[in-house]
Chain A
Amino acid sequence: MSLSAESFEHVADLVLRRSAIRLAPGKEYLVETRLLGMARERGLADVEELVRQVRASGTEADRERIVEELTTNETSWFRDQLPFESLREHVLPRIVAERGPAARVRVWSAACSTGQEPYSIAMTAAEVLPPTASVEILATDLSDQVLAQARSGTYSQLEINRGMPASMMVRHLVRSGAQWQVNPDLRRSVTFRKHNLLDMLPLGPFDIVFLRNVLIYFDVAVKHDILRRVARVMAPGGVLVLGSAETVFGMDGEWSRVQAGRGSLYVVQRPATGAVPSVATGMTHTHRAAVVPALARGGQE
């Protein structure tokens, strides 16, 4: 039996309340395919029956599982290349120039999925930071399932093939049966934690925040609320990296876009009064429009 409108609405409502992900009408097929495995595991005939059962007598864990199954966890190594190029060539060298060889860099990879993003950041940092500097990467996601893989740092050949440069593969991975595993050194630089972006954000201040390919699932109001709260956990001059198709559209005056080489980043706009030292740019924002050498300001949106 196919999914009834009532059951679809129930699932959509649950997912919206718990994750902010909006499942618009027309996404019935998505609910049916994603929850089929869970229905089968329980020996149920179809998803309709699963939803009815969970509504009648489901546990908290059941509801959590449904939300997790409806997240999209698509990711890859060094996704889109450019953000990592910006880190390597502009952001990290700037921080070291500012803070010296013993610099401590704090990074948050929000909605990190199976871990490719924070590990790619760690690999980039290992490439450019002097051995005396250190990077602390906090990586969070809503889903326990993706976090389990992320923590183990274990990937299939196909997952490794997607965007990992051969030089990094040789340096940071070891074979583990038919799979590959991120080496312990690199794993130690990343802390994984379960976190929902709708909840209170982790304590900053962060020099670098990756918040990529997750806001696209949310309504504008939710998106703005999250970006506003993210602004408060940024270190002065800290940089925010969004997905390649994402912008801070509608938040002029709060965030502004800067160009770092070929990549774009966002920085918090400080109030016009009082100069705030900017870590990543090595410059001072005295007004909204900061013009800096390494991070030449890009077009405003």
Chain B
Amino acid sequence: MSPIAVGEREIFEIAREVFDAMIPGGGALEEWHGDLPVQHEPLTAWVAFHGPFSGRAVLSSERGTVDDLASALLGLGPDAVVGDEDRLDAFGEIANMVGGNLKSLLPFPGTLGLPEVAAEPPADGVLLEKLRLSWGGRPIVITLWSTDSAAAALSEGSTLQ
């Protein structure tokens, strides 16, 4: 359905590498089996893609999980208190690593926006892929969105000819 060479498998491989290399402890990233629990205090981080493909890669999880991701990324102890700025920055950087690597699989030449973090992701766009993952039993969801309108996609296509 999507005109791009990015599927669940690529997203999973990339996310897994990010976690393996940069986020020690907490175990490898795995597929989530079964229904997702209701998220308390959801937090979302995303980066936008611009160019022949426009869209965004979005990570979402619970604030508590994000705090643990941040302290693992920063190499802080398990009981460290994570400040607001560190939480937003670390989560944004994880989205940036996933998104940046995904960009290399999207039509060339695209550019990457700077990471953003908020309670809710932007509401526009068409959902292309959704991966439900488990980080040591805690859910992390990665989604890939297209924000091209059909018309925009067509005119992009024709300028490329």
Whether B104 pairs with A156 at a CB distance below 8 angstroms is no
What band does the interface of chain A fall in when counting residues whose beta carbon is under 8 Å from B?
Answer: under 10
In this assembly, does A177 line the interface, its C-beta being within 8 Å of a C-beta of chain B? yes
Name the residue of chain B whose CB is nearest to the CB of A159.
B17
Taking CB atoms and an 8 Å cut-off, the chain A residues in 133-185 that contact chain B are 156-158, 175, 177-179
The digit string for B5-42, where 1 denotes a CB below 8 A from any CB of A, is 10001100110010011000000000000000000000
Q: How far is the CA of A157 from the CA of B21 in the complex (A)?
A: 10
Q: Is B101's beta carbon under 8 Å from chain A?
A: yes
The answer to whether B13 and A178 have CB atoms under 8 Å apart is yes
Q: How close is A207's CB to chain B, nearest CB, in angstroms?
A: 37
A177, B101: Cβ atoms closer than 8 Å: no
Does B152 sit within 8 A of A, measured CB to CB? no
Residues of B within 8 A of A179 (CB): 13
Secondary structure call for the A interface: mixed
A178 touches B101 (CB 8 A): yes
- Nearest neighbor of A156 in chain B, beta-carbon distance: B17
B10 and A178 contact, CB distance less than 8 A:
yes
A156, A158, A178: the one contacting B105 at CB < 8 Å is A178
Taking CB atoms, residues of chain A closer than 8 Å to B14 are 157, 178
* B10: A residues at CB distance < 8 A: 177-178
Shortest C-beta distance, A174 to chain B (Å), equals 12
Contacts of A158 in B (CB 8 A): 17, 20-21
* Complex: chain B residue closest to A161, CB-CB: B21
Instruction: State which residues 98-145 of A face B: CB under 8 Å.
Output: none
Cα A179 to Cα B13 with chains together (Å): 9
Q: In the complex, what residue of chain B is closest to A179 when comparing beta carbons?
A: B13
State whether B104 touches A175 (Cβ < 8 A): yes
Q: Which residues of A contact B5 (CB under 8 A)?
A: 177
The 7 closest A-B pairs by CB, nearest first: A178-B13, A178-B10, A178-B14, A158-B17, A158-B21, A177-B10, A157-B17
| A residues lining the B interface (CB < 8 Å) | 156-158, 175, 177-179
